Amino acid sequence: MQVYLLRHGIAEDGRPGQPDADRALTPEGKKKLRGVLKRAKEVGVQPDLILSSPYRRAVETAEIAAHQLDYSRTILRSDTLVPSGKPEAVWDELRIHKDEPQIMISGHDPLLSNLTAYLLHCPDLQVDFKKGAIIRIDLDRFSAAPRGILKWMLVSKLAH
C-alpha cells in the first residue's frame, strides 16, 4: 500500500468565537495546494481512497486533491484524523482498508508528523510537515506495529 499523508493547505486565522474546526483554506493556500497536487499527479499519485479529518480546512484540502487527482469516489471523514488524533488509531483505520493500493489522508499537524514517525517505526523522528506538503510511505505488512518505508516528501516550494 502507498500511503500519502497530505497536510491541509494554508488556512485563515481563527476569529474570536470561531471554532478551530471551522477555519477555511485561504486563496493562497488553495493555489499552493493545487501546485503540489499537480506535481503529485505527474509522479503517479492516484488515490483509491481519500480519508479526511472532519475539520473544514482538511475537507477542503481533500476535495481539491480529489479534483486534481481525478478521484471520483466518496471522501471518507474520520474523527481519528483531528489534530489531536492518535497514530495508533489511524493505523487501525488503515488496516481496515489494507486492500486499497493507494490511500491519501488529509489532516493536520501534529498528528501527521507523529503518524509519519509511527508508520516508519522511528518514534524519535522529527518531521517539519509544512502546510500543503505530501509524504509518501509504502507499507507491505499490516501487523500490530507498522514498518513503513519513506519514499518521498513534496512541499510547495519544490512543486513549481
pLDDT tens for 41-70 read: 999 999 999 999 999 999 999 999 999 999
Mean pLDDT of 79-96: 97
Pick the range with the lowest mean pLDDT from 34-38, 96-100, 142-146, 150-154: 142-146
Q: Which of 75, 149, 71 is nearest to 106 (CA)?
A: 75
Distance CA 5, CA 112 (A): 7
Q: Which domain holds residue 71?
A: 2-158
* CATH code, domain with 139: 3.40.50.1240
Burial call 17-34: b when 16+ CB within 10 Å, e when fewer: eeeeeebebeeebbebbb
Q: 1 and 95 in contact (C-beta within 8 Å)?
A: no
Mean pLDDT of 14-27: 92
Q: Is the pLDDT at 30 greater than 80, yes or no?
A: yes
Task: Return the ∠ at Cα 85 (arms to 84 and 88), rounded to 5°.
Answer: 145
- pLDDT at residue 156, rounded to an integer: 84
- The reply to whether the predicted model has a pTM over 0.85 is yes
For residue 77, CA distances in Å to 19, 50, 129 come to 18, 9, 21
pLDDT band with cut points at 50, 70 and 90 for residue 160? low
Number of residues assigned to the chain: 160
Residues 6+ apart with CB under 8 A from 8: 25, 29, 53, 55, 57, 58, 60, 61, 106, 107, 108, 131, 132
Q: Residue 97: what pLDDT?
A: 96
List residues bridging with 100 in a β-sheet.
none
Indicate if the pLDDT at residue 159 is higher than 70.
no
- pLDDT range class, residue 145, cuts 50, 70, 90: confident
CA dist 54 and 56 (Å) reads: 6
Work out whether the CA dihedral 52, 55, 61, 64 comes out positive or negative.
Answer: positive
Please state the domain count of the chain.
1
